[in-house]
Amino acid sequence: MVNHSLLRPELRPPVQMALLDDILGIVRANSLWPMTFGIACCSIEMMAAGASRFDLDRFGAGVFRPSPRQSDVMIVAGTISKKMAPTVLTLYEQMPAPKWVIAMGNCAISGGPFVYDKQYAIVNGTDVILPVDVYVPGCPPRPEALIQGFLELQDKLTKGGKTNFIRHFKRWPRKEQP
């Protein structure tokens, strides 16, 4: 189900039908179309996730689209410089709704190693300019981490994973720390 409370008010449909939302959520979760778009070194790991060894297509998200108008997932893979930020925003706005954003890597999450006192060139995280749905930490995150990010996004689109409907592998309970 698409959780409409997570969408911005202008993106929420005027009439909501729960069953249709459930079906659309499952369909969308199984056919995510990421944009072919990388800004820095994390994008190399993103490319590896889509290539044969890790095969992101196993999870229905392997068709990277060459245009934002055909994409519904933006993977921000790299450092957003202030010079690049307007371009990233334009690409996001050219994507049709509903759309989702994955912040991949420490640079996309918080500016990463390029944030220090009096730095003037780097945006301190994607969520300064865009609504982020999933954060994938690491410098760089491995392809498996990005795949986990997609599973989290699929969970989010299908009732927050409560139904366990979409998850392809068993979710093991976390052990309590002593």
Contacts with ligand SF4, residue ranges (CB under 6 A): 40-42, 78-79, 105-107, 112-113, 139-140
Closest by CA to 140, choosing from 81, 75, 90, 96, is: 75
Nearer to ligand SF4, 104 or 153 (CB): 104
For residue 36, the minimal CB distance to ligand SF4 (Å) is 17
For residue 53, the minimal CB distance to ligand SF4 (Å) is 19
For residue 47, the minimal CB distance to ligand SF4 (Å) is 13
Closest by CA to 133, choosing from 75, 71, 69, is: 75
Instruction: Match 């995280």 to its residue by tokens.
Output: 125
Nearer to ligand SF4, 108 or 166 (CB): 108
Nearer to ligand SF4, 77 or 151 (CB): 77
Angle at 171 between CA 34 and CA 101, to 5 degrees: 25
Nearer to ligand SF4, 75 or 166 (CB): 75
For residue 125, the minimal CB distance to ligand SF4 (Å) is 11
Nearer to ligand SF4, 25 or 141 (CB): 141
N residues, the chain: 178
d(CA 66, CA 165): 30
* String of DSSP letters for 132-164: -SEEE-SSSPPHHHHHHHHHHHHHHHTGGGTT-
The Cα diameter of the chain in Å comes to: 51
Q: Which residue is nearest to ligand SF4 (CB)?
A: 107
For residue 145, the minimal CB distance to ligand SF4 (Å) is 11
